[in-house]
Amino acid sequence: MIKPETVERIIDAARIEEIVGEFVSLKRRGANLLGCCPFHNEKTPSFTVSPAKGIFKCFGCGEAGNSVHFLMKHEHYSYPEALKYIAKKYSIEIEEEELSPQQIEKQTEREGLFNVSDFAQKYFSELLTENELGRNIGLAYFYERGLSDDVIKKFGLGYCLDEWENFTKHALASGYSINVLEKTGLSIVKDDGKTYDRFRGRVMFPVYSVSGRVLGFSGRILSSEKQAAKYVNSPESEIYNKSKTLYGLFQSKNSISKSDLCYLVEGNIDVITLHQCGIENVVASSGTSLTMEQIRLIHRYTKNITVLYDGDAAGIKAAMRAVNMLLEEGMSVRVVLFPEGEDPDSYARKYGAEMIKNYVEQQATNFIVFKTKLLLEETQGDPIKKAALIKDIVQTISFVPEMIERNLYVKECSALLDISEHTLATELAKCISERFKRKERNSEPQPTPISVNNNVEPNPGSGNDLPYPVESSLPDFVQSLTQQPVYANEMEERRIISLLINYGDTTIKDKVENEEGEMVEEEYYVSAYIVGDIMNDDIMFENPTYQEVFDMYKTKIYEGEVIGSSYFFTLNRPDLDNLVATMLTNTYTISEKWGDDKRRIYVPKPEDNVDKDVKEALLKLKQAKVNQKIQEVKEQLKVASDINDIMLLLNEQKNLESIRILIGKALNQIITS
Ligand SMILES: [Zn+2]
């Protein structure tokens, strides 16, 4: 358990733009930074980071929160893991309270898997440099491949002894359970209960997450044993998902972002050799064929990708497969093919760092041009083959999302293939519309948009007389606020909560009557003022989350404390983080698009109007609640049959109407003041 004081220090120290910037390429936009959202698939950036407020907010999918929330969501960290990550980054010493045995047990399985993987990496790298066999076999192998100590360290390379249960025994003796060892795949448990090491007598390549945690291993055999597989890899586990991992991304991400270019290679060793040669913007899909998730990982840092492939038939085939996916994701793709029989690693070792740098730069060809030329060679004038080739190329071009780019490719290929642009363009249009139709057929029926009332068609333009618009196109983040249909008084309630969060710890002035009956001006904290006023009228929030936030302010005020919005970020409540961050960001972004009167989405006023704003918001909330009550009474009157009930209801209606008039007057005063 991390002590609360330390938690506070850590959260204060976290610079949101630095934390998020580790994973998302951000560009400055005024006071904020903007990037492409890592939580949903988007091509136009709508992911906003506010350094001043310490929060991020995506206006596409609604995800929002502070640094801790970001790490939990993005890296799937637990709360303490996220705090520890930040503490390490900002060199904050963590004071932990002793864990009880129950708490230790409660530590998540994920943490256990991370810990044992980290332990294994350290052990293997120690064997590589400290153990005689490790030095003579493993280290000698790396040196022979031209790797320096720095690069060996950078990639955490290691060696495991050629014994049946050397590692398992060592890990068990160090307190790790056979359960976690088995789950990471480091140890294998046989039916008879005997255990042995998965990796034996191999050089070890740890696989890191984007943030640098060890997820699994790849082990390469050095002996020439015929039956042994050249590579043995960790199996998938709770923490290791191969289709979402790219080898080398952790070590390369800064360079990829800086150079705005990513090289994609096939093997782990290619990544390391290229780093050794000074090419540090390189990743490998290592073992799996490239997945959409991996492409999106790269896309966070750059849209430019150059695929480096072996010059053999298999290499070319792999390149072809990957490229349609890359194009579809909107990446700009170039290709470098190595001479037959060479891969980046062998080429670099044969010709050296300078040569490979030049080779990669000079050979990089636009993919579609590359593919056309390659296939054209194969057709050798055969018209049937050529027709198939045209279909193939057009198919590939159709994956390019941008029309302008597509047209450029049509032009280029028309020249290469000696076919009119018109013919290609027609073929292309056919291809795109076919795929579009296929997609439509496959797509699920769209969920009904949010509606205020189940009896009402969700159609905004139908002249409905509901007090709130039935928006079929409300932005997602409004829906994500409540996770339930927007109800009648949502806007008014939200406005109050927004004022609490944005200005709760600032003060406003109001005139009150003192004991002598004179009107005097008093200063109040906004939160105290709002809480007092709402408690006075016994108003409850319909949205349970709003009510919860309100109750937190209430409790604190009764305890004589005034809290600011940062308080919520210390609670480890991702749902509240999200809400609070949304409220904080709404002040500067919704207004542009959604602030007009028709849509009635609340836009907080500039800070100098807080006084007026608070009073107006409170009255508006009361007005809404009174209107709602009147409506309820009217409904009851429609079905009431007992004369006494009817009298009571009519009386209540009259009272409510007079309150409504009072509120209306007060509102008028404020608005015209
Ligand atoms: Zn998003």
Distance between Cα 174 and ligand 1 center (Å): 42
Chain segment 255-287, per-residue pLDDT in tens: 888 888 999 998 899 999 999 999 999 999 876
Residue 283: the pLDDT is 95
Mapped onto helix, strand or coil, the DSSP state of residue 473 is coil
Distance between Cα 65 and ligand 1 center (Å): 12
Distance between Cα 62 and ligand 1 center (Å): 6
Distance between Cα 38 and ligand 1 center (Å): 6
How far apart CA 428 and CA 426 sit, in angstroms, is 5
Report the amino acid identity of residue 251. Q
Distance between Cα 546 and ligand 1 center (Å): 23
Distance between Cα 582 and ligand 1 center (Å): 13
Name, of 172-186, 284-298, 318-332, 658-672, the range with top average pLDDT. 172-186
Chain segment 213-240, per-residue pLDDT in tens: 899 999 999 876 667 788 899 999 988 9
Percent of all residues in the chain with a pLDDT value above 90, rounded to a whole number: 25
Distance between Cα 244 and ligand 1 center (Å): 18
What is the residue whose two structure tokens read 């009361």?
A: 622
Mean pLDDT of 458-466: 32
Chain segment 624-638, per-residue pLDDT in tens: 999 988 988 888 888
Distance between Cα 24 and ligand 1 center (Å): 12
How far apart CA 666 and CA 94 sit, in angstroms, is 53
Output the pTM of the full model: 0.57
- The length of the chain is 673
Distance between Cα 326 and ligand 1 center (Å): 20
Closest CA to 85 of 110, 67, 97: 67
In whole angstroms, what separates CA 451 from the centre of its chain?
28
Distance between Cα 257 and ligand 1 center (Å): 20
Distance between Cα 323 and ligand 1 center (Å): 25
Domains in the chain, start-ordered, CATH in brackets? Answer: 4-101 (3.90.580.10), 108-240 (3.90.980.10), 249-439 (3.40.1360.10), 476-630 (no CATH)
Distance between Cα 509 and ligand 1 center (Å): 39
Mean pLDDT of 7-19: 87
Q: Is 552 left (phi over 0), alpha (psi -120 to 50) or beta?
A: alpha
Mean pLDDT of 555-577: 81
Mapped onto helix, strand or coil, the DSSP state of residue 643 is helix
Residue 410: the pLDDT is 87
Distance between Cα 521 and ligand 1 center (Å): 46
The two tokens of residue 292 are 């959409």
**27 has a pLDDT exceeding 80:** yes
Instruction: End-to-end CA distance of the chain: give it in Å, rounded.
Output: 53
Name, of 230-234, 458-462, 641-645, the range with top average pLDDT. 230-234
Distance between Cα 42 and ligand 1 center (Å): 7
Distance between Cα 601 and ligand 1 center (Å): 20
Distance between Cα 490 and ligand 1 center (Å): 23
Lowest mean pLDDT among 413-427, 489-503, 537-551: 413-427
8 Å CB contact between 586 and 64:
no
Residue 474: the pLDDT is 31
8 Å CB contact between 351 and 343:
no
